[in-house]
Amino acid sequence: MMQTARTVIFEQVGGPDVLEIQERPVGEPGPGEVRIAHRACGLNFIDVYQRSGLYPMDLPHALGMEAAGVIEAVGDGVTHLREGDRAVYAATPPGAYCDMRVMPAAQVCPLPDDISFEEGAAMMLQGMTVEYLFHRTTPLQPGDSVLFHAAAGGVGLIACQWARSEGITLIGTAGTDEKCALAVKNGATHCVNYRTEDWPKRVREVTQGRGVDVVMDSVGKDTFDGSLASLKPLGMMISFGNASGPVPPFNLGVLGQMGSLKLTRPSLFTHIADHETCQSMARHLFDKVQAKDVEIHIGQRFALEHVVEAHRALEARETTGSTILTI
């Protein structure tokens, strides 16, 4: 008899209430696929973008981009995983919010024994994002300066620690004094409360008027202009998210007027599309965690059946660190 799994799906775009749990069949893996039984699943803002319709998808569709668990079956041609292996992933297609699934194996990675399933589910998408921001987007050297928005979120806390381990000065922004303190505790050199301070002015003060080498901005519309204003001449603006909405159409000529600035809009899934690159990025992340350079902060845990509540908290920016669904 074919197995079934609880799977979170949405049949129309909208708020958290459009999410529902259905029992769906789970078959055998085909060539290049694995079947994985999840122990925990990660929540990320890309899930909100997909559910809300900002990133359009064919509906109905399952949701979720990362999880950790145990490999139950392996299809033909898969050589880097075996039945019984602990495994983890951030990957397409969406569908990680479930008990079990069949999926392509190329972006599924062996999970070291000393990293828990919950840590694995909480860190792959966010941690590999930090890996490409710091190592694959623009050259960064010890002593360079970075402005990082949402520094107390899941990606932000990893970035704070990563910057400290690389000798990079990270100036963070966050929405409360408590979140700023958390960012500083995790390695931010400074953190600015964007609700109570003129943060572009404060960044200039902290850098003695020079501005930063790089801005890493996942907020989007609300921070874009201030982020550009925080860069030094020839600086790099990395826009990698839209938490406040997409950046409006922009006149590229402004980049020249502000000091020959550079602007890029990368995506994790472009970087990990290649199997070997994905596995290398994951190993780099695992090395940072195993060396204690990076600790994964799980601020919130929700049972799978409470996914609507989890999405409400995530979208309201009531979370710190990473958020996971437990199976």
CATH number of the domain enclosing 32 = 3.90.180.10
* 253, 144: one domain: yes
DSSP 293: S
CA–CA separation, 285 and 90 (whole Å): 13
Write the pLDDT tens digit of every residue in 264-306: 999 999 999 999 999 999 999 999 999 999 999 899 999 999 9
Question: Which secondary-structure segment (H or E) carries 174?
Answer: strand 169-174
Could you identify the residue written with the tokens 């999840």? 38
CA–CA separation, 307 and 313 (whole Å): 10
The predicted pLDDT at position 77 comes to 97
Report yes or no: 5 and 100 within 8 Å, Cβ to Cβ: yes
* 103, 149: one domain: no
CA–CA separation, 310 and 300 (whole Å): 8
User: Would the pLDDT of 244 be above 90?
Assistant: no
Range of the domain at 198: 138-265
- Beta-carbon count within 10 A of 266 CB: 16
* 241, 147: one domain: yes
Tell which of 243, 265, 287 closes a domain.
Answer: 265
* 186, 287: one domain: no
* 196, 285: one domain: no
Tokens (6 digits) for 245: 């909405």
- Beta-carbon count within 10 A of 204 CB: 17
The pTM assigned to this predicted structure is: 0.92
The predicted pLDDT at position 235 comes to 98
CA–CA separation, 238 and 224 (whole Å): 10
Question: Does residue 118 lie in a domain region?
Answer: yes
Mean pLDDT of the chain: 95
Question: Does residue 131 lie in a domain region?
Answer: no
Tokens (6 digits) for 325: 């669904």
What total number of domains does the chain contain?
2
Write the pLDDT tens digit of every residue in 190-238: 999 999 999 999 999 999 999 999 999 999 999 999 999 999 999 999 9
Report yes or no: 166 and 190 within 8 Å, Cβ to Cβ: no
Tell which of 241, 265, 289 closes a domain.
Answer: 265
